[in-house]
A = this chain, B = another copy of it.
């Protein structure tokens, strides 16, 4: 059994929890789980959610099944997720523009969450909180100071507390799925090395960016000269709402843009960023993309891609893999971060300074690495 703790019980986590239970009960196939057929020595139905953490007042203290149904219309198989709870998290002030939160003394928050982790004893912690605009921490001491003062971003604080708790409850894997620099904070990677833990991240690679990466690879392999790339995204979930705040948007844009130079080998002019919030679209965002290029003998070709993509289930599917992979890496005694895993699942693969490669190459790298374990 793999004990997983979810940080941020929003639409991604709800899809992860309910989808997982539906797979276990035979109601659904594990579509959207890239390595569903891969033998990890542990089955998908051995992944267990032992708790969730959130700062939304309306969710704290309730069971996962009822929150998933009430907030997202996702119905769990009968009986499932009724005795797993949303526990109170920390850093509510980072998201008070998005939903109702409660104030709390910071040091109290820290100790409360640390105790919670010790109690739940997770093998894998999955951070699916919303985008936070923050910088990376180089130095451990500076980082610890920032955590103590409440300056570090919530994602970074959770990672810190998880690594700290691991000294008591044993090594664990912390997987950061949002753009906050967690696996890109050298201080956190050093702490992971010291504690024998795994930190994976940052920013789960779903939606349009992985497809863009592969389309660019396709063009590069034909030596077509890309003139420009435009990519628009609009959706109606909390993630898009949160990105209407300029600072968060910029954090997101960076992880999306590096893909162009990394894959093409030159910086084709591009406009790639989350574009807007439109409530009725809900979780199924609309993506529009325009790419044009020069082919042989001066010919100019043009490609337009439009998509309707359910953002949250897509990420939830990846998380099912990451729970099993985190468990496997931990079991094999690895520590720090693992590029071979991040390269496929993350928009901004750690360790810092790593290149974005096409998802095709990343997939090969990943599957070869998993086999080698």
Please list the residues of chain A having a beta carbon within 8 angstroms of any beta carbon in chain B.
15, 18-19, 22, 28-37, 74, 210-211, 214, 217-218, 221-225, 227-228, 230, 232, 234, 269-271, 275-281, 284, 286, 288, 290, 293-310, 312-314, 316-317, 320, 358-361, 363-364
CB distance from A245 to the nearest CB of B (A): 15
Which residues in B have their C-beta under 8 angstroms from that of A19?
A: 296-298
CB distance from A154 to the nearest CB of B (A): 25
Residue from the set A34, A234, A298 with the largest chain B CB neighbour count within 10 Å: A298
Asked if residues B316 and A308 are in contact (CB atoms below 8 Å), the reply is no
Asked if residues A313 and B295 are in contact (CB atoms below 8 Å), the reply is yes
| B225, B276, B297, B359: the one within 8 Å of A230 (CB) | B276
Which residues in B have their C-beta under 8 angstroms from that of A298?
A: 19, 22, 28, 313
- CA separation between A14 and B225, bound complex, in Å? 21
| B18, B271, B317: the one within 8 Å of A276 (CB) | B271
Which residues in B have their C-beta under 8 angstroms from that of A225?
A: 29, 31
Nearest 6 pairs of A and B residues by beta carbon: A32-B296, A19-B297, A296-B317, A288-B288, A299-B310, A299-B313
CB distance from A85 to the nearest CB of B (A): 21
CB distance from A25 to the nearest CB of B (A): 12
Asked if residues B37 and A223 are in contact (CB atoms below 8 Å), the reply is yes
- CA separation between A295 and B363, bound complex, in Å? 18
- CA separation between A310 and B308, bound complex, in Å? 17
CB distance from A169 to the nearest CB of B (A): 29
Asked if residues B22 and A297 are in contact (CB atoms below 8 Å), the reply is yes
Closest to A320 in B: B296
Residue from the set A222, A296, A305, A364 with the largest chain B CB neighbour count within 10 Å: A296
Which residues in B have their C-beta under 8 angstroms from that of A304?
A: 288, 304-307
| B234, B270, B277, B286: the one within 8 Å of A278 (CB) | B270
Which residues in B have their C-beta under 8 angstroms from that of A276?
A: 230, 271
| B271, B290, B317: the one within 8 Å of A295 (CB) | B317
Q: A218-B359, A221-B360, A317-B295 are in contact. Are A306 and B306 (CB under 8 A)?
A: yes
Asked if residues A221 and B270 are in contact (CB atoms below 8 Å), the reply is no
